[in-house]
Amino acid sequence: MTDPTIRARLASTAEINEQEAVQLVNLINAAYGLHRDIFREDRLDDVSHLYEELSEHPENRVLLLYEGDELIATVMVRPEAEALYIGLFAVALSRQGQGLGSTVLRMVEQVARKQGLSRLRLHAVREIGNVMFYERRGFRVIAEKQRAAGDWGSVAPFISAEMIKELQ
């Protein structure tokens, strides 16, 4: 990472304290809230919803990026058979468009390599533009599924794309 003012921490669910959990919920909901035309509700209802999602898989970890005391980006990662799965990826609204998302993905690649994994895997929503974001960073679509209104809390139909990136 090139910015010395940013610090990163990879944490298990148990290592995330209440204050961090509140910051995570606020950050994720703000970032996902940009897409209210498809998803009207907050991505996470509250801190207990966050802990519930993270606890679904004991191997889940959360990468937290801070500038000073401010949480500016996060992503959940989980090792699978050959890939590191990515979810709950969010960058603070004030930091979007500044390359921080790409920095987070490079850090995620390092986590995958340290775990001996050869690829990254995620799901993206085509209508909100994040498929193109990931394609520009080396991911490719391996499957798409038309989702009905109501899926994932949506108010409109959308296309879910499963994507992978092979690591060099």
pLDDT in tens, 40-76: 666 656 667 666 777 787 898 999 999 988 999 999 9
> Is residue 150 within 8 Å of 133, Cβ to Cβ?
no
Topology of 6-166 in CATH? Aminopeptidase (3.40.630)
Strand partners, 121: 85, 164
pLDDT above 80 for 30: yes
pLDDT above 80 for 152: no
Q: What percent of the chain has pLDDT over 90?
A: 48
| Rounded Cα gap, residues 39 and 33, in angstroms | 8
pLDDT above 50 for 1: no
87-144 confidence digits (pLDDT tens): 889 999 888 888 899 999 999 999 999 999 999 999 998 888 789 999 999 999 999 9
Identify the CA nearest to 28 among candidates 117, 91, 118, 114: 91
Spans of all domains in the chain: 6-166
| Rounded Cα gap, residues 31 and 80, in angstroms | 26
